[in-house]
Amino acid sequence: MSKSLENKLALVTGSSRGIGAAVAARLARNGASVIVNYASSADRADAVVREIRSAGGEAEAIGADLAGMDGVRTLIASIDTAFGGRFGGQLDILVNNAGTVDYGPFLEQPDDSYDKHFNVNVRAPIALAKEAGKRMAKAGWGRIINVGSAFGEAAPLGGVTLYIATKFALHGFTRGLSRELGPLGITVNGVQPGPIDTDLSPNEGTDAHATMVKLTSVGRFGKVDEIAAAVAYLASQEASFTNGENLTVDGGWNA
Ligand SMILES: NC(=O)c1ccc[n+]([C@@H]2O[C@H](COP(=O)([O-])OP(=O)(O)OC[C@H]3O[C@@H](n4cnc5c(N)ncnc54)[C@H](OP(=O)(O)O)[C@@H]3O)[C@@H](O)[C@H]2O)c1
């Protein structure tokens, strides 16, 4: 197993379950010390940390609700204190993974849904990337990876319009920021999953699930490890010439 991320601190937002949990485990396996962030699932975050530690890796759980700027600030403060302050405030890898969606017709969305979608899916990644970028610039090395969606470049279904708007925004942010941070030794890329088997996606057996399977060409939902592998690549030394890319991993959904 490659330990190429040894002595690197990684922060993975929304890593108490789903894709984020798989990303945290994968980066830890590659040697990174990982901050596992969650909003409310403290038990599940602790389980992710235990699993990483039992596999010989290093992880700590930090609760911070990224819907509010207070939560963003809490998470930023944890960069300084994580692992006994051993990293001296340096952050090497930021994975903006936490995301939220309210399914349903746009015309029935409550007004507070706008802020909910944009604060978690766009504002928090932007605020964390700014903080991470400053710290990474000092070291002259860094990796920022934004977990977007196949809905960040196409809209093959209705009922997720606000979510689509946020993922297009994140896609654009990734491209713009890569221009600014590339000269500083920091790459900024996105991973755009298609339908992945997690709490966020409709359960097997429903009509929505069957429709989404049909939109892929491989005829199935993806697995969290298939997204974690793409994130691990973009976080690696080997990805040093990949910048401003939004890597779509969607079983052919957007082909
Ligand atoms: N699953 C898919 O089919 C799919 C497809 C395309 C893109 N994506 C994207 O992939 C990312 C992860 O999705 P997932 O399917 O793994 O979701 P998930 O299983 O629902 O997990 C969501 C994670 O995000 C955290 N989270 C949610 N709201 C948060 C907040 N306000 N502050 C901090 N953390 C918060 C959750 O923490 P708690 O456990 O504490 O609630 C949890 O760890 C999202 O950005 C999503 O848009 C998913």
Domain spans of the chain? 9-247
- Rounded Cα distance, 79 and 72, in Å: 11
Over 90: is that where the pLDDT of 127 sits?
Answer: yes
- 62 CA from centroid of ligand 1 (Å): 15
- Confidence label for 205 from pLDDT (cuts 50, 70 and 90): confident
CA dihedral 110, 112, 118, 123 (to 10 degrees): 180
- Confidence label for 2 from pLDDT (cuts 50, 70 and 90): low
- 15 CA from centroid of ligand 1 (Å): 8
- Mean pLDDT over 163-191 rounds to 98
Any atom of ligand 1 within 6 Å of the Cβ of 18: yes
Any atom of ligand 1 within 6 Å of the Cβ of 198: yes
Residue-level pLDDT at 242? 98
Q: List, for residues 8-42, the tens digit of each pLDDT value.
A: 999 999 999 999 999 999 999 999 999 999 999 99
Any atom of ligand 1 within 6 Å of the Cβ of 201: yes
Any atom of ligand 1 within 6 Å of the Cβ of 125: no
- 42 CA from centroid of ligand 1 (Å): 14
- Rounded Cα distance, 200 and 89, in Å: 32
Residue-level pLDDT at 3? 87
**What is the rounded average pLDDT for all residues in the chain?**
97
CATH architecture assigned to 9-247:
3-Layer(aba) Sandwich (3.40)
Over 80: is that where the pLDDT of 203 sits?
Answer: no
Residue-level pLDDT at 234? 98
